[in-house]
Structure 1
Amino acid sequence: MYVHFIEEDNTTRYPALEQLTNHPFHLWEDHSKGSSMLSLASGFLNDEQFYMILLVIVSISQLINICAIIANSLSIAVFVQLGFSEPSNISLTALAICDFTLAVLLTWNNLCFWLTYHNVRLPFHVLNVNFLTGGAQWTFLSSTVAWITAFISFERCLCILLPLKVRRLITPRGTFVVMLIIILLTFCPSFFLYIRYKFVWEFNPYLNLTILNTSLVNSEFAVLFEKISIVICGVIQPLLAFSIVVICTVLLVVQLRKISSWRLSVTSAKSQRVRPEENPATSSPSAKLRISQKEERLVRMVVAIATIFIMSYIPTCIGILCNVVFDEFHPFGVYKRLSIVSAYITSLGQPISGSVNIIIYYKMASKFRSVFRRLVCLDRQEQERHELE
């Protein structure tokens, strides 16, 4: 969701040009696109509407981020106490850590917005430095969250489709290695942006001091590497991970319905005292559905997590597709204001998902609920209340 300068026709443009404009969020008007297109674009949102919408979104985002930071901190503490003997605990801990980091990065992004909006004079270019210290990392880390969720959903699919072999296929050590690989392939490439961008000290005549800023590296290799990384990490990876989550979630829901029907048929067969050969529990298709109730609860929890993720990630996918399909839907295109507002709106989805996950854990995982209550001293408070009564 970051907004940063780009290079067009060998000209570097900045979204925040406080040394050249009256307002730090003044938007460039590219008259080469034609006055009619500019009139159409400016008709959607005027200056007052644009700034007011961003202020409202950032304020809401900050409240959500605080909730996400607290919720994921508690989730991480609970999973640490539960231990990592179960592969699911490892993947869910990795998800909580990424959600926590996303909320911290988005908090930093919002702080930079406020500093720029109120035109606070600092010894660095706030938005451009924020791009290399938070904005880009947030974008790449959101893809990491998508892939971790995809792995969790895929793991649960294996538990249902291959219940007798999954213990050998999915081990704690293997899950830990998979988490590292996902982070290396999705988040770590964000640091390769330093090949294309670098920090520089430059004199700002408006502030009359030397400030820290960012600059483009115009080598052919750096430009090519940036384009490839944006296409792979910014478009292909998140859309592919989202597709995997959707497919696995649909499969899990279908299998859960089959399991519920199978349990109902077994109960009905026992009540009618049918012959063993007629009992559905002994048939080979039904044998594949005989998973423990513990596993079934875990599958239902994963379905809930994946469903929340899908709902929160749909706006991000729509934004990615709009950037791909519409050439002018970016911070320096004709529809620049709509692009920036949509980017801030889509950034709300994942902290909301990260905040809600702890409620799902608490409601659907008995061990998590027990440790959580002990961690926040709820059991002690209830015990003292009963003693007073």
Structure 2
Amino acid sequence: MYLHLTEEDNTTRYPALNQVTDSPFHLWEDKSKDSSMLTLARGILSDEQFYIIVLFIIYTSQLINICAVIANSLCITVFVKLGFSEPSNISLTALAVCDFTMAVLYTWGNLCSLLTYHNIRLPFHDLNVTFLTGSVHWTFLSSTVAWITAFISFERCLCILFPLKVRRLITPKGTVIAMLIILLLTFCPSFFIYIRYKFVWVFNPYLNVTILNTIPVDSEFAILFQKISVVICGLIQPLLAFSIVLICTVLLVVQLRKISSWRMSVTSAKNQRVQPEESPAASSSAAEARISQKEERLVRMVVAIATIFIMSYIPTYVGLLCDVLFDRFNLFGVYRRLYIVSSYITSLGQPFSGSVNILIYYKMASKFRSVFRRLVRLNRQEQERHELE
């Protein structure tokens, strides 16, 4: 529901709404006459350094996000053509949909920042509105991506540890239910942020226009609810999911090495035409290692996806840790410019992770590669047909 504030409300109840912009390019500055305090308030980076670095990162991020949108669109199309009889296709499709949505939300925020930098007047407050329509949902959706990756890694662990029972444990129906539960617990709480903030139409006397802005709801319940949801869904859940992905990836790598060693020993025995005697313990280990080559390729693909996820998300969690440990290193601290630059840099990893998954699928999944090639050929044939007409 949109509200309309009078000019009196703008100047008395919410004076901050009259600020022209609070984008990353136009930060609140300390008006102190003391030059040393002014330098400290601005942080280590100078004005020119800050603008150049942020602008370069935003353009780089925008390019990566466009690649992520295109790549995940192709992934979704290929998985739909492959069908959802395999549980792995369902979870990988859910991962691609989340990566696609994150890339779109991030592109939206970057676009508004770039338009503001080039002095293009927007009909809304760029930072506040994109915070509610993009940044919040993007942050919560990153938790969804983390949990889907954790589920995929855990599923592959079960396939290796219990190869004969896993088909009864992991079914297409169960995978769909798991994806819906993950979505409900991780992404849906982001919409509760609208309990804490509301959209309003505000008259800006400096620009002589009415623009869309947001105001906080001064309610103890809303503030408490926001803090709880951000801590649980924005901090605890991603860290827990990251830990599960890390543990499952280590287990998968160890088990893959056992499988490779067992297959090399079997191949060596066949070449020598001598069957070595195996102890009961070795026979049990070999039985666990006997999974199909198709399953082994899928496990390797999951390990690659999880490894890229871990490498991409580590900088984000390091940034969160620094935010907790250092009081001055935050958006409103004395080193806010350095904080903003580091936040932009660490956030590049997540869209990068979503954009390179298609290369992993194409390299390691033969069915995906086959359908992808047919899809590209069909597109080319249609283009040639249109050109001839």
TM-score (norm 2): 0.88
Aligned to 1:171: 171
3-state SS of 1:210 partner: strand
Which residue pairs with 1:209 in the alignment? 209
Alpha-carbon offset, residue 202 of structure 1: 1.6
Q: Which residue of the partner structure matches residue 46 of structure 2? A: 46
1:343 is aligned to: 343
Q: What is the aligned partner in structure 1 of residue 187 from structure 2?
A: 187
Deviation for aligned residue 1:296: 0.2
- Aligned-pair CA distance for 1:26: 2.5
Q: Distance in 2 between matches of 1:348 and 1:299?
A: 26
SS in 2 for 1:376: helix
Q: Percent identity?
A: 76
| Structure 2 SS opposite 1:78 | helix
Q: Is the 8 A contact 2:150 2:244 kept in 1?
A: yes
**Residue 203 of structure 2 aligns to a residue in which SS?**
strand
Structure 2 match to 1:3: none
Q: Distance between the aligned counterparts of 2:137 and 2:243, measured in 1? A: 22
Matched, 1:318 2:321: no
Task: Report SS of the residue matched to 2:144.
Answer: helix
Distance in 2 between the 1:178 and 1:367 partners? 24
Residues 348-381 of structure 1: per-residue CA shift (max 9 Å, x gap): 1111111111111011000000000000018999
1:57-83 C-alpha deviation (Å, 9 max, x unpaired): 011111111111111111110000000
Are the structure 2 counterparts of residues 263 and 24 from structure 1 closer, same or farther at C-alpha, using a change threshold of 3 Å? closer
Letter in 2 for 1:25: H
The residue type equivalent to 2:28 in the other structure is L
In structure 2, the partner of 1:17 is: 19
Alignment map for 1:199-238 (pairs within 5 Å): 199-238=199-238
Equivalent position amino acid for 1:346 in 2: T
Secondary structure of the corresponding residue to residue 202 of structure 1? strand
Q: Aligned residue for 1:257? A: 257
How do residues 95-134 of structure 1 correspond to structure 2 at under 5 angstroms? 95-134=95-134
The equivalent residue for 2:271 is 271
Q: Return 5+ residue gaps in structure 1 as ranges.
A: 1-10, 382-389
- Alpha carbon RMSD of aligned pairs, Å? 2.7
Alpha-carbon spacing, 1:239–1:35, altered in 2? closer, same or farther (3 Å): farther
Deviations along 1:247-276, one digit per CA (max 9) or x if unpaired, are 111111000000001111222233344458
| Counterpart code for 1:373 | R
1:122, CA displacement in angstroms?
A: 2.6
- Matched residue, 2:371: 371
Report the secondary structure of 1:221's partner residue: helix
Q: Contact 2:82–2:371 (CA<8 Å) still a contact in 1?
A: yes
| Residue pair 1:266, 1:281 contacting (<8 A) in 2 also | no
State how far apart, in whole Å, the 1-side matches of 2:105 and 2:302 are.
26
Alpha-carbon spacing, 1:372–1:235, altered in 2? closer, same or farther (3 Å): same
d(CA) in 1 for partners of 2:332, 2:140: 21
Letter in 1 for 2:296: E
Q: 1:311 to 1:14 in 2, by over 3 A?
A: farther
Aligned pair count reads 369
Q: Distance in 2 between matches of 1:370 and 1:16?
A: 56
In 1, the alpha carbon distance for the partners of 2:73 and 2:182 equals 21
1:166-202 CA deviation, whole Å, 9 max, x = no partner?
Answer: 1111110111111111111111111000010010112
- Is 1:354 the equivalent of 2:354? yes
Alignment check: 8 A CA contact 1:15 1:26 kept: no
AA of the residue aligned to 2:341: V
**SS of the residue 2:164 aligns to:** coil
Structure 2 unaligned blocks of 5 or more: 1-12, 382-389
Length-normalised TM-score, structure 1: 0.88
Question: 2: CA distance between counterparts of 1:22 and 1:284?
Answer: 62
Q: Please say if 1:84 is aligned against 2:84.
A: yes
Distance 1:260 1:58, change over 3 A: same
